[in-house]
């Protein structure tokens, strides 16, 4: 007896649209380690779910098909039964046609079409409509029509970047994408058929290319892409992908191979020199650049959370809101003192944070940050949110100096690997100091964990809360301590006035 063909779904179709090989692995190796979600992705899914639930309020009076995710056939049957009852809307409706499942966030009755027509509404937790939303809506329209439903219209409902808490009446924007979807339907049937045939065959041979990162980074990139040699030309700082391909085609696979007569930007020239000589390059201009770091200094770093549905006054969807800071301050006669503040409840953290920040930075002549435009934006937000501290905050903003361009424009160590993030430059400039000994080691995890600390309430046991709080405090503290040690190192380099290894 021939085996039953593998069924497709909306998400499988979209994955196959990006790459058949990716879809084959997703279907035949569902437990592949590459498919495990990162904390950041899990957070996005959780927030997307919240947005989906909230969106149902825009089309009231509907019924939710509330069954476990994997009960596809039961969900299809329950949807059919709900349709027969003539409800104004069905949330999480499921359909099956041509061996393809399609889940619909909101299926609404179209008031036109004699009451028999329907509107497919795809809810997105993004602040705008994106090109990849169209095939998503199109496959739903296709399957629903094949299942016998009269679909008159397709909409994408996304978050509204103009919305400001507490007025959430305009949280969503609905865009009619019917005409665009009708265009996207052309060829959809053939693609579904091609995907089904491909899944019944051995792993397809698909060459790597631009599609590996469009519209999303494929999780299988480490499997497919060859491991590049150290200092490959693509590791030149911010090199255009096409330029790297050209250099490789000209026979220059690594930075070691690049000829001396090649015209390069100042940063690339420094990088090439450092890599080819195996020594750190320190420009004479560093001395002048360091004069802006006039004591007494404060070293400042913020951590933020970003919520799809805003919950504090004046905030828009996905706004990055500062909820934690660390400041190391030089104080006359006392060396460095450390100040820190962290939110650990659901209330608006900005007034208390701003007050502590103004106090911590009061005696500083300059406030040092690494990639200061981020800190500047956080301070601007605080000025809007806490106008009574506007003058103090504005003083901090005026005194900001950025350590990142000081490194980028005057120093290169071969271990930077073409990047100037603090995670790359710190261990190269200050051996022995990194983030590897910390429980929270990167910004993505910090954001997710801060959100948990603030919003999990009693779900987070007291002991775990205390531990998490400590881990987050130590992470943020490391960022400012890193700047202290890095500046110390740069000053030492100037004192030496040598190119050091």
Q: How far is the CB of 16 from ligand SF4 (least distance, A)?
A: 10
The answer to whether the beta carbons of residues 103 and 143 sit under 8 Å apart is: no
- Out of 17, 144, 218, 275, the only residue in the binding site for ligand SF4 (CB under 6 A) is 218
- Out of 142, 220, 299, 416, the only residue in the binding site for ligand SF4 (CB under 6 A) is 220
Question: Which stretch of DSSP H or E encloses residue 366?
Answer: strand 366-369
Q: Which residues pair with 97 in a beta bridge?
A: 100
- Out of 224, 239, 267, 401, the only residue in the binding site for ligand SF4 (CB under 6 A) is 224
Nearer to ligand SF4, 64 or 206 (CB): 206
Nearer to ligand SF4, 24 or 94 (CB): 24
**Is 14 a residue that touches ligand SF4 (CB under 6 A)?**
no
Q: How far is the CB of 367 from ligand SF4 (least distance, A)?
A: 43
**Would you state the structure tokens that stand for residue 361, as one six-digit string?**
């930075």
**Would you state the structure tokens that stand for residue 204, as one six-digit string?**
């397809």
Q: How far is the CB of 198 from ligand SF4 (least distance, A)?
A: 12
**Interface positions, 462-481, toward ligand SF4 (CB under 6 A):** none
Instruction: State how far the Cα of 203 lies from the Cα of 250, in Å rounded to an integer.
Output: 33
Nearer to ligand SF4, 211 or 408 (CB): 211
**Would you state the structure tokens that stand for residue 91, as one six-digit string?**
């949330």
How many residues comprise the chain? 501
Instruction: State how far the Cα of 315 lies from the Cα of 319, in Å rounded to an integer.
Output: 6
> CB pairs under 8 A, 24+ apart, for 490-495?
490/286, 490/290, 490/406, 490/407, 490/411, 490/429, 491/290, 493/282, 493/286, 493/411, 494/282, 494/286, 494/287, 494/290
**Interface positions, 197-216, toward ligand SF4 (CB under 6 A):** 206, 208, 211-212
Q: How far is the CB of 232 from ligand SF4 (least distance, A)?
A: 17
Cis peptide before 296 (omega within 30 of 0): yes
- Out of 8, 19, 90, 272, the only residue in the binding site for ligand SF4 (CB under 6 A) is 19
Q: How far is the CB of 219 from ligand SF4 (least distance, A)?
A: 7
* Pairing assessment for the beta strands 117-124 and 100-109 based on DSSP bridges: antiparallel
- Out of 15, 22, 43, 324, the only residue in the binding site for ligand SF4 (CB under 6 A) is 22
The answer to whether the beta carbons of residues 327 and 339 sit under 8 Å apart is: yes
Nearer to ligand SF4, 211 or 279 (CB): 211
Q: How far is the CB of 226 from ligand SF4 (least distance, A)?
A: 11
Please count the residues of this chain forming the interface with ligand SF4, following the rule CB under 6 A.
12
The answer to whether the beta carbons of residues 208 and 222 sit under 8 Å apart is: no
Q: How far is the CB of 212 from ligand SF4 (least distance, A)?
A: 3
Residues that bind ligand SF4 (CB under 6 A): 18-19, 21-22, 206, 208, 211-212, 218, 220-221, 224
């Amino acid at each position: 007896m021939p085996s039953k063909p593998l069924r497709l779904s909306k998400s499988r179709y979209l994955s196959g649209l990006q790459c058949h090989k990716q879809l084959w692995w997703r279907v035949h190796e569902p437990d592949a380690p590459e498919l495990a979600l990162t904390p950041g992705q899990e957070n996005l899914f959780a927030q997307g779910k919240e947005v989906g639930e909230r969106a149902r309020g825009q089309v009231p009076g509907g019924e939710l098909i509330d069954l476990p995710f994997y009960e596809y056939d039961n969900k299809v049957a329950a949807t059919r039964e709900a349709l027969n009852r003539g409800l104004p809307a069905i949330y999480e409706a499921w359909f099956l046609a041509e061996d393809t499942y399609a889940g619909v966030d909101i299926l609404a009755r179209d008031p036109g079409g004699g009451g028999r027509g329907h509107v497919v509404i795809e809810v997105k937790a993004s602040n705008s409509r994106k090109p990849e939303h169209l095939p998503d809506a199109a496959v739903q329209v296709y399957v629903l029509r094949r299942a016998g439903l009269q679909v008159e219209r397709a909409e994408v409902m996304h978050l509204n970047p103009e919305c400001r808490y507490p007025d959430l009446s305009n949280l969503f924007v609905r865009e009619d994408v019917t005409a665009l979807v009708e265009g996207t339907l052309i060829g959809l049937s053939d693609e579904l058929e091609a995907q089904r045939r491909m899944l019944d065959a051995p792993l397809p041979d698909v060459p790597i290319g631009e599609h590996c990162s469009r519209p999303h980074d494929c999780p299988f990139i480490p499997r497919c892409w060859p491991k590049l040699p150290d200092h490959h030309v693509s590791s030149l700082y911010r090199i255009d992908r096409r330029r790297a391909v050209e250099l490789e085609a000209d026979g220059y696979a690594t930075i070691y191979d690049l000829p001396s007569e090649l015209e390069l930007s100042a940063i690339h020239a420094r990088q090439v020199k450092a890599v080819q000589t195996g020594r750190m390059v320190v420009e004479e201009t560093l001395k002048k650049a360091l004069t802006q770091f006039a004591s007494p200094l404060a070293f400042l770093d913020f951590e933020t959370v970003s919520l799809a549905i805003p919950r504090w006054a004046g905030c828009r969807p996905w706004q990055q809101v500062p909820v934690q800071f660390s400041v190391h301050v030089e104080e006359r006669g006392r060396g460095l003192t450390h100040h820190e503040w962290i939110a650990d409840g659901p209330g608006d953290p900005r007034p208390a944070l701003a007050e502590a920040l103004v106090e911590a930075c009061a005696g500083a002549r300059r406030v040092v940050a690494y990639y200061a435009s981020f800190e500047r934006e956080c301070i601007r937000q605080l000025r809007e949110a806490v106008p009574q501290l506007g003058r103090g905050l504005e003083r901090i903003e005026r005194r900001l100096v950025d350590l990142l361009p000081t490194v980028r424009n005057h120093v290169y160590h071969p271990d930077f690997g073409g990047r100037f993030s603090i995670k790359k430059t710190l261990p190269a400039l200050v051996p022995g100091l990194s983030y590897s000994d910390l429980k929270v080691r990167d910004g993505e995890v910090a954001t997710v964990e801060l959100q948990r600390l603030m919003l999990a309430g009693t779900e987070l046991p007291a002991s775990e809360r205390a531990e998490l709080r400590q881990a987050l405090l130590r992470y943020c503290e490391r960022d400012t301590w890193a700047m202290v040690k890095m500046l110390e190192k740069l000053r030492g380099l100037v004192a030496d006035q040598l190119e050091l290894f």
